[in-house]
Amino acid sequence: MSKIETTCKNKYQHKLITLISTISYINRQFKKYSQNRILYYFNGNLKRNGQKEIKIKTLQSYLYKLEKEFQVTNNYYQHLGINMGTAIYYKLQYSKKECYRRINKNFKERKENRHLNRINKYYQNKKAYNKNSSVEKWECINNINNSNNKEEKTKLIEKLQVMKYVKKCKFKTDEFHSILNLEISKDEKIKALREMKRDENRLRKNLQNRMKYDENNQSKLQFKQKELSRILDKAKVKLEKKGYNEKQLEKEMQEIYEKYKSKPHFIIENDKYGDLKKIMGKIEMSCEKDRKNMQDNEKNIKDNIFSILLDQLRHNTSIEILLPVLKNYLNKQEKLDYSKAFNNQYYYELLKLLENKEDYCKVQNFK
């Protein structure tokens, strides 16, 4: 298709004339076609004419207006069924040139009507002004005040345009005031406001995604924390069976839970991570060391109490009788306590045993 030569200055008018030419060409070349095919050839014509390409929605709007508003086409639509699409055909009501003439005439009439409306409005305003003033004021074209008034009016219009754009943006904060107070042009302010709104939308979207992510993660974390607690309880029972101190194990397991409650997967996925194995080894070493220290401590207490009682009772009986009785007595005690040694509880119990032992020995010697 060749480049269309038109004298119209209105871009919308020019596009409608181009669309008429495109429909005429497609009707000659194809018996059956779709809107996408029309769009392809139409955009090709626009590109050759140095105009911006359009999208399918805009094309549909143009086709509708050609029939309903300009009445130069007869549009046919027939739905073919589910998943079968729609059959279309756009018939020109007149010849191509007649369609051009009717479209141009429509735009010309619109232009003339707008001009007449402006004139009528002017005279109506003038008539109302003369009613309120007895002296008619004439305006000097070169008056500086008139120039200032024009500038002020322009600034006011631009300010209102900027405020209209601010209202359209619906900012969630008052930060946009900092842009309004800048000494820059209207276009620069609108550009800055547009960037600010984009940043605000981006932040809000990120926050919503983050909240949704945190909510999902929170429920997953709670489930994993329960699993972590179950694994640690199972490990505690296992160590208790080995004879380790229950209270010490409780304390150790609580410390491990606090350490891993924010990252429980290191314990739960023990086939992937070695944390549980290392922790169990450390606990066993720690408990074994404490148990050894406790045993050593008990042995020291036993030796000390043995020495105290030996020193107290050595004058009451012979060493041959005292030593076996004292050792046997201390071995039978579940837990030795210094307080019982210092309040002489052990002393009196042993003294009674020694008296019974001496009596027994005398009877044996007599026999």
Helix (H, G, I), strand (E, B) or coil at 87: strand
Confidence (pTM): 0.37
Contacts of 46 (CB under 8 A, 6+ apart): 15, 18, 52, 53, 54
Would you say residue 338 has pLDDT above 80? no
pLDDT at 367 over 50: no
Tokens of 87: 């059959």
Which residues have CB under 8 Å from 354's CB, separation 6+? 313, 316, 317, 321, 322, 325
Query: CATH number of the domain at 11-109, please?
Result: 1.10.10.10
Q: Give the chain's mean pLDDT.
A: 81
R_g (Cα) of the chain, nearest Å: 52
The domain spans of the chain are 11-109, 226-289, 295-366
The CB-side HSE value for 3 (13 A sphere, CA atoms) comes to 7
Q: CA-to-CA distance for 126 and 121, rounded, in angstroms?
A: 9
Q: In the chain, count of helices (H) and strands (E)?
A: 13, 2
Residues 6+ apart with CB under 8 A from 91: 27, 73, 74, 75, 76
293-311: average pLDDT:
71
Decide if 166 contacts 180 (C-beta within 8 A). yes
Conformational region of residue 77, where left means phi above 0, alpha means psi within -120 to 50, and beta covers everything else: beta
What pLDDT was estimated at residue 273? Answer: 84
* Cβ atoms of 317 and 275 closer than 8 Å: no
d(CA 288, CA 282): 10
Q: Name which of 69-73, 95-99, 215-219, 256-260 the model is least confident about.
A: 215-219
DSSP per-residue letters across 337-357: -HHHHHTTHHHHHHHHHHHHH
| Predicted pLDDT of residue 153 | 84
Q: Any residues with CB less than 8 A from the CB of 339 and at least 6 apart, and which?
A: none
More confident: 133 or 194: 194
For 62-85, what is each residue's pLDDT tens digit? 999 999 999 999 999 998 888 888
Q: Does the pLDDT of residue 136 top 60, yes or no? A: no
Largest CA-CA distance found in the chain, in angstroms, rounded: 161
Its sign, for the CA torsion 49, 11, 13, 38, is positive
Instruction: Tell me the C-alpha distance between 14 and 12, whole Å.
Output: 5
pLDDT number for residue 286? 73
Residues 31-47 pLDDT 10s: 999 999 999 999 999 99
